[in-house]
Amino acid sequence: MRRNGYVYLAFAALSLYLLLQSCQGEEAIRKAQYTANGQKLYTSHCQNCHGAKGEGLGALYPPLTDSSYLHEHRDQLACFIKHGLSGPIEVGGKAFDGEMPAMPQLTPIEIAYILTYIGNTFGNTEGFYSQEEVQQALKMCENTAR
């Protein structure tokens, strides 16, 4: 009986540990999964202009390595991708005034993949973008007359 008690205790401890671990690990796993999916989409939709290392090209296409720009505009990035961007902006201390084409065909989950990839590559540490966050962000810009 005493021995069984130890076994139960050990089992309960292990379960608790696994449960905690999985809660913590879930986001990390999702982040890894989103990053992997995002890389494929980045290659086909973004890399031509922004480069394989997010380095941009001259004063034509801005780099994606300016972490503070990404952080400050976190809630606008989804709209940039879906609806495009034009007008003057400053990224990495350089002025850009081109036109980024809209990609209306991208779904919120695809945009979440792309943002998670960009946000955690090229030296960026923005963390995980969920589909919900993207949907919320898109609502904001789709409400303001565009």
Q: Which residues bind another protein (CB under 8 A)?
A: 48-49, 51, 57-61, 98-99, 101
State which residue, 34 or 118, has the beta carbon closest to another protein.
118
Of 27 and 97, nearer to another protein (C-beta) is 97
- Quote the least distance from Cβ 82 to another protein, whole Å: 15
Helices of type H across the chain: 2-45, 47-50, 67-72, 77-83, 108-119, 131-143
- Least distance in angstroms from the C-beta of 33 to another protein: 28
Largest CA distance in the chain: 76
Least CB distance from residue 71 to another protein, whole Å?
26
Distance CA 92, CA 62 (A): 8
